Amino acid sequence: MKMKNKILILASVLLVSVFSCTDDFNDINQQPDALSTSDVSAKFFVTTLQQKLLRSTMVPLWYGDLLHPDQFCGQIAMGHSSYNWDGDFGWDYNSVLTDLGSWDWYANYNSTLTSYMNFVKEGGTLENDQYYALGLIMKGFYYHAFTDTFGMIPYSQASDPNIPLPVYDAQIDIYKGIIAELDEAIETIGDNQTTGEGVDQLAENDVIFNGNMQYWKQLANSLKLRIALRASGSTGENFSATAASEAVESGVLADTDALFEAFADETNIWEGSASYGDIWHGFSGVGRWKISQAMMNLLKENNDPRLEKIAKPSIGGTITIEKPTEGDNVALIDDHVAFLKSTLDNAGLVENTDYNWAETATNLTITMPENTNYVGIPSRLSGKIKSYMNGDLFSDPTDIVTQKTNEGSPIFPTILLTSADSHFMVAEAIVRGLISGDAETYYQIGLERAMALWGTSVSSDFLASDMGSLTGSNEEMLEKIATQRWLTNYTNGYESWAIVRDTGYPSTAVITSDNNDIISFAGELNGEYPQRLQYGTSVYTSNANNANQAVSTQGPDKMATKLWFAD
């Protein structure tokens, strides 16, 4: 870990000294200055290229991942009695959260990416086709996540220093462009194993694959397959079958995961990189979240061996909840009590066996054995019901997810793309009729790889569950695959959210509301499910004409507006 930190520090110093960057590609694109040192290798910039996209600092991790996609995808939830805000915090549009958490983080990465690509491209100061291919793959991940979050964004003109105000490209064109550049990367890598010899050989500077270019080629194919599946069936799409077939034939990730290991000894969580645990243990614990009801119930209903790896049992004990005696919530007592009771029952708990329930006119007392029951909390809870949702009733994430940095303990890595997801995607492509093959075989390998990611294995009880085999109608099989992909991408909220928006599965993760007294309407969402994030407020001053043109084409700049791939 210390070596990786040294690499980041060196790369950062070099970046600062030689790059002339832009803060936002909506303002202006600038050409980076050329390197003046002939003996510097492109490898010194690779770690920063990866870290800047995959390992965010505190503000984007909190305001971005946790409050938006991690919640919207239905895997974690807030709103319990010990949480500092209501359960719809993040669901109800807040420009500060969107600007600092997501838009600025994504938009500003363009400078890091463009500078790197300019150095390693043909004719660049550090020209190297293998480093360029690696950059194209990183670029593909960047723009795919960016467009799937906001929709139309600057792409074709985003890195051109001669175009100060780039147009916003249609999502279908961005998808096509990414696939074309992935094809270029795949062809460029060919049979190459490394990036070169001597100072040009990429090893530990590549935190993901340690410089193995064949793994990068497989990763490019897996991303190509992901994009093909997401585009499949969307308006005007005519490339998904070809792209999927080419990706599988060329070879996707089979037994290697693309993970960015956390810097467990990171000391600068505000400017270097942060982990979920830095938020969990910071700020006196007021921002702690719970495992969601959707996630928990899926794991429990299918006897999933990952349950104990992902969630802790509820603290439990004797919990007394006082009923309100004045105000509007008095009229809601019966509804709120009934909802809490149904939450425990829907978790599979049996009254007088797993918990005791005693209710009087003034309070409610729940007695639950300590550290025994697994209970997920419902998502998007209204502030009106918050006092009933005592935090000790619901399950926390496990320590490997909430581990704070710089304490010498392991931290769950950042997921870029896993071999499990690759196998599930191949199974999906077969079921959709895009390619031929035995979907069940790929599904089973996907399950094995998914369990291994969490240090466990497929159990006989799980195999006997509904999720244990790929059976049923085509739609039922697609639901199983989507659900497993969603579970496999836990902690990769942007991708999990995209899976839900694209497929509608798992259906329990599509959180809408028709009762603001329990599940919040969430302001402008007005009960609808969030389909995108709104653009950063800066675009309406820095590149207003192009932003407004995108809105007129795509639809209102609101969270409920469906994107091309989900429509």
Identify the burial level of 20 via C-beta atoms within 10 angstroms of its C-beta, where 0-12 means exposed, 13-18 middle and 19 or more buried.
Answer: exposed
**pLDDT tens, 103-125?**
999 999 999 999 999 999 999 99
pLDDT of 4 higher than 70: no
**pLDDT tens, 429-446?**
999 999 999 999 999 999
pLDDT of 5 higher than 90: no
Distance CA 126, CA 459 (A): 50
pLDDT at 32: 42
Distance CA 538, CA 473 (A): 47
**Do residues 43 and 195 lie in contact, with contact meaning Cβ atoms separated by under 8 Å?**
yes
How many Cα neighbours within 13 Å face the side chain of 524? 16
Q: What is the largest CA-CA distance in the chain?
A: 80
Confidence tier at 265 by pLDDT (50, 70, 90): low
pLDDT at 529: 98
Percentage of the chain modeled with pLDDT above 90: 88
pLDDT at 215: 98
| Burial letters 321-355, b for 16+ CB under 10 A, else e | bebbeeeebeebeeebbebbbebbeebebeeeebb
pLDDT at 38: 54
Q: Once rounded to an integer, what is the mean pLDDT over residues 506-515?
A: 98
Q: Once rounded to an integer, what is the mean pLDDT over residues 456-468?
A: 98
Confidence tier at 323 by pLDDT (50, 70, 90): very high
Confidence tier at 284 by pLDDT (50, 70, 90): confident
pLDDT of 419 higher than 90: yes
pLDDT of 470 higher than 90: yes
Say which amino acid occupies 367. Answer: T
Confidence tier at 39 by pLDDT (50, 70, 90): low
pTM (2 d.p.): 0.93
Cis peptide preceding 166, ω within 30 of 0: no
pLDDT at 11: 45
Instruction: Give me the phi and psi of 537, to 5 degrees please.
Output: -65, -25
pLDDT at 408: 84
